[in-house]
Structure 1
Amino acid sequence: MDIIGHLPNKLYNCDETGLTIVQHKTSKVLALKGKRQVGALSSAERDSLVTVVTCMSAAEDYIPPLFVFPRVNMKAELLDGTPNGSIAIYHKSGWIQMDASCSSLENKFLPNVKPSKDDPVVLVLDGHYSHTRNLELLALVARENGVHIISFPPHCTHKMQPLDKAFMSPLKTYYAQAIENCLGQNSGRVVTHYQVGRLFGEAYNQAATVATATNGFRITGLFPCNCNVFQPHEFVSDANGSDFVQQDQNISITQIEDRESQPSCSVIQNNLEERPKNKWKRS
C-alpha cells in the first residue's frame, strides 16, 4: 500500500476462469408415454473449455478480457459479441499457458493501465505456475514497467481474491442463463465456440458493475486495507495437518485448542503397551 500511495486505482486483481459450452440444465423434451429411447438436446462438443482472463481494480476499473480458445487456426468470428477491446489467443488445450500470461499483460494490462517505474501499480495474482514460475512475466514485462506482482498464499484464493469472492459467481450464473436462453430461442441448435463470445459478453455486462468491484476488494480486506477481516478460527489448523479446519461457525477457539491438546490415538496406544502385564491369571 505504501508503494501505490493507498490509491485504489493502482491496485488490480487478475484471474482466469473456464467457460464450458455444455449447458448445465437441459431443456425439457416431450415424448410419448412408454417410449424407451428419448432424445435430448446436448452440446456439439464435450470436454471443450474456453479460458478467459479477467481483471479489475479497487477503483471499479475493468480491463477487457482475454480469451484462450482450444484451437490451432485463428477465426475472427470467435470474438463476435465479446466486450469491447477483447482479444483472443489460441492453444490446442484451451488452458492458460506462460506465453498467454505474458500476452495478457503486454497486450491488455499495460496499454490500459499505463504503469511506469515512477507511477507503479500492484497486481495481485493466484499461485498458478504461469504466474509464479514465469520469469519473462516477472522480470522482463512486469519489473521493467513498474508492475509489482504479489501472489496469494496457497489455498487462500477462495477467501482473499476479490474476483473469486464477488465477480466469478454472478458471472457464471449469468453465463449459464445466457446458454439456456440461447437454446430456448433456437430450438434444435447447439452451442459452439462461435456463440461463446456473445453469451459471455451478455453475462459480463451484467456482472461487471461498480458494486461488484468495490465489494470484492472490501470483503477480502485488500482495499480498504483491513488486517482484521478474518476471524481467528479461520487460521487454525487441525491435528491432521490440513490447511483449513471445517468447523461449525458456533465452535469457539477454546474448544478447538482443548481438542488439539488431547493425546492422539497413537500416544494412547504407546502408553498401553508400556504398562506392565497383569501377573494374575484367570483360574
Structure 2
Amino acid sequence: MPKKTPKIYKNYSEENLEKAVEAIRLGQMSYRKACDTFGVPKTTVLNRVNGDVVDNGDGIRAGRKTALPQVVENQIVEACIRAAEMGFGISKEQLILKVSRFCKSLNLNVFKNNIPSDDWWRGFHSRHPEISIRKPEPLSTMRSRMMNRVVVSNYFSDLLVLISDNNLTPDVIWNMDETGKQFEHRPTSVVARKGARSIPGRTGNSKENISILACVNAVGDVLPPMCIVKGKTPRCLESFSTLDSPAGTLWTYQERAWMCDILGQMWFSQVFLQNIGPKRPQLLILDSHSSHEVLGLLQEAVRENIIILAMPPHTSHHLQPLDKCVFGPFSRAYDKACTNLLTQHPDLVINKTTWPRVFSTAWIAAFTKDNIVNGFKATGIWPPNPSAIPESAFAPSLAYDTPQDTPSIPFPSSSDLPALPEESCTLVTEPIIPTSTPVSLEDSNSDLNLSLLADAAAIHPEVGADAPDIGIPLPDVLSLLTSLGNGNLVLKEEDPQPSAWDAEVESIFAIPPAESKKSKNVKSKSLTSHRLLTSEEIIESKRMKLAEKERKEKQRAERQMKVKKS
C-alpha cells in the first residue's frame, strides 16, 4: 500500500490558472509576475501556454496517465450506476474482475497479471466521486417485475377516469393498508463510549405480533385503527389495556393475528362506513390482499356507492400512500416510544399491558396531516399526477422486459453506396487497440506538399495496386488521391477515440436481457394489473367462485356421510 502524503499539488483554482495564462498570452505580465500574482506554479503555466497540456474535453488531471482512458472509465462508471439502479449492482470485487476481463479481451497489458490492484480501485474511486460503496435495500423479484411502466400507466389512466367521471374531491379519496408491530422493538441510537464493541438495548421478552389496520384520506383525515391480536376467543382481549389506545380503536382477534375475510368485512361496516360521512360517491384504494375482496364487502360497497380500486399487485412500495410516507415514520416513532418507556421505567417491559400506551404515542406522532398529504402527493393520487412516480422506480423492471424480434437488415455492398464528394471524402481505419495516430481530413485551399502524399501512403500502405481489398471501391480511392494532390484536402492529426472499445465495455458490464419463454396453454391465476373491485364483472366472478366452493363443500359432505353410513 503506498504511503499517504498530504496534498502538495494544485493548491490553486482553475480560474486563477486561466487568468495567468491569458495575462501572459496578451503580454500584460511576465511569467514570474503572473505566477506570483495568481499563485500558480511556473511549470504549470509554461505547459499551458506552450500547448504541452491540452484539455481534451474530460478535464485536466494531475498525475500520470491512467491505465484506462478517461472515456472508458466514464463508460464503466455509467454502467455501474445503471446496474445499481436496476437492482443488479456491481460490487468492488466484481468490478475488478470485469475490468480484468476487459483488459484480457483487448490484450491490454496495463495491470500486473491483468488484474487491477487496490491502488487502482482507490484512484478510480477518487477520480469519480459520483460513485461510492452502498448497501442496497432488499427488493423482491416480483416487485421488480410488476413495477413497470405499462402496468403503472394503465393504473393511472383508469384512476384519472374515476376521479374525473365521479367528480371526486380529496376528502373522499381513501387509502387503507395493514402493518404489524411486535413486542420486541428495535432500540434507537444512544450516547455511549466511542469505540465500544457492543451497547445493550432493552427490549420486550416476546415477539408476539399485532396487526394494525389504518385508513387515511387525501386531506389528512385518519380513521380509528383496528388492532388484531393473537387469540381464539374474546377472552384474549381482556389482558390488553385497550383504554390506552387511540380513541375509537376497534380491538379484535384472530388465531394468528392476521387479517382475514371476516375481519375485512367487519372493518368495512364498523369502522369505514361509520366514519366517512354521508357524502357519496367515495373512492377506497387498497392492495390486492384476499381479505379486501370478500363478496359481502363488495356488495355492501356497491349498495353504499363506494368505489373500491385495487392497485396492481406488488407495487404498493411506490403506489400506496401509507407505505410511502406514513408507515416508515410510524415504525421509527414506535421504536422511539418503546425505548423511552423502557429507559424511564426500568421495571416495565413491552407486553399486553404497556403496548397500547406506546402504540398510541407512535400513532399520534406519525399519522400527521403533513405525512398523509405528502403520501398522496408522492404516489400521484392527489393531486392526480402520474409523473410523480420517479423514473428510477421503473429501472428494476427493465431487466425483465422481453426484447422484440426485429427483422434483419442486410448491409449494403460497396457498389450500392453513393459516390462521395471530394470535400467530404474520409479514409478511416479503426483497430481494436489504436497503434498509430489516426488521421482525419478537412477542407483547405492551401497548396499541398508532394511529400504529404507520400506520408499518406506511408500511413496507409494498403492503398495500392497490389494491396488486398479493404472494402473501398477503386474509384473512391483514386478520387481521394486526386483530391490530396490538388490540395483540396489536408491531413490533420487528432487524438485517438476509444469508440472501438464501446462494444467491449457494453458486452462485459451490460445486464443480460431476459430470455423470452414460450407461453403455455395454461390459464394463469396470478394477478398482473389493477382491478375495479366494485365492477359487475368482478362481483359476478366472485359469486361464481363462491357458488363453486359451496358446491364442492356440499359434495365433500355427502361423501363423508356415505362413508359413515357404510
TM-score by length of 2: 0.39
Aligned residue number for residue 225 of structure 1? 384
Q: Which has the larger radius of gyration?
A: 2
TM superposition shift of 1:145: 1.1
Which structure 2 residues correspond to residues 251-262 of structure 1 after superposition, within 5 A? none
Q: What secondary structure, in the 3-state scheme, does the structure 1 residue paired with 2:206 have?
A: coil
CA distances 1:41-70 after superposition (whole Å, capped 9, x unpaired): 542322x11001111000111101011011
**Structure 2 counterpart of 1:44, one-letter code:** N
Aligned residue number for residue 292 of structure 2? 131
Aligned residue number for residue 367 of structure 2? 208
Aligned residue number for residue 6 of structure 2? none
Aligned residue number for residue 352 of structure 2? 193
Q: How far apart, CA to CA, are the structure 2 residues paired with 1:265 and 1:12?
A: 40
Is residue 172 of structure 1 aligned with residue 331 of structure 2? yes
CA distances 1:168-190 after superposition (whole Å, capped 9, x unpaired): 00111011111111111221432
Higher helix fraction: Structure 1 or Structure 2? 2
Aligned residue number for residue 152 of structure 2? none
Q: How far apart, CA to CA, are the structure 1 residues paired with 2:513 and 2:258?
A: 46
Distance 1:265 1:43, change over 3 A: closer
**Structure 1 counterpart of 2:326, one-letter code:** F
List structure 1 runs of 4+ shifted beyond 4 angstroms: 39-42, 239-242, 262-266
Is residue 86 of structure 1 aligned with residue 249 of structure 2? yes
Q: How far apart, CA to CA, are the structure 1 residues paired with 2:220 and 2:513?
A: 51
Is residue 156 of structure 1 aligned with residue 319 of structure 2? no
Distance 1:41 1:230, change over 3 A: closer
Tell me the matched-pair count.
236
Aligned residue number for residue 225 of structure 2? 65
Distance 1:209 1:137, change over 3 A: same
**Structure 2 counterpart of 1:161, one-letter code:** Q
Of residues 180, 183, 191, the one that matches 2:342 is 183
Q: Does the 8 A contact of 1:58 with 1:223 survive in 2? A: yes
Q: Does the 8 A contact of 2:399 with 2:513 survive in 1? A: no
**Structure 1 counterpart of 2:382, one-letter code:** F
Of residues 100, 104, 108, the one that matches 2:263 is 100
Distance 1:114 1:6, change over 3 A: closer
CA distances 1:188-208 after superposition (whole Å, capped 9, x unpaired): 432112222111110111112
Q: Percent identity?
A: 28
Q: Which moved more, 1:225-234 or 1:186-195?
A: 225-234
Of residues 50, 70, 74, the one that matches 2:210 is 50
Greater RCO structure (CA 8 Å; 6+ sep): 1
Q: Does the 8 A contact of 1:70 with 1:92 survive in 2? A: yes
Distance 1:43 1:114, change over 3 A: same
Q: Does the 8 A contact of 2:171 with 2:218 survive in 1? A: yes
Q: How far apart, CA to CA, are the structure 2 residues paired with 1:171 and 1:40?
A: 20
Distance 1:209 1:129, change over 3 A: same
Q: Does the 8 A contact of 1:167 with 1:208 survive in 2? A: yes
Q: Which moved more, 1:84-93 or 1:215-224?
A: 84-93
Q: How far apart, CA to CA, are the structure 1 residues paired with 2:247 and 2:343?
A: 27
Distance 1:59 1:77, change over 3 A: same
Q: Does the 8 A contact of 1:26 with 1:42 survive in 2? A: no
Q: How far apart, CA to CA, are the structure 2 residues paired with 1:11 and 1:157?
A: 16
Distance 1:16 1:137, change over 3 A: same
Of residues 259, 277, 282, the one that matches 1:121 is 282
CA distances 1:116-155 after superposition (whole Å, capped 9, x unpaired): 7xx11000001111113x112112x211111111111011
Aligned residue number for residue 9 of structure 1? 171
Q: How far apart, CA to CA, are the structure 1 residues paired with 2:270 and 2:514?
A: 55
Q: What secondary structure, in the 3-state scheme, does the structure 2 residue paired with 1:101 have?
A: helix
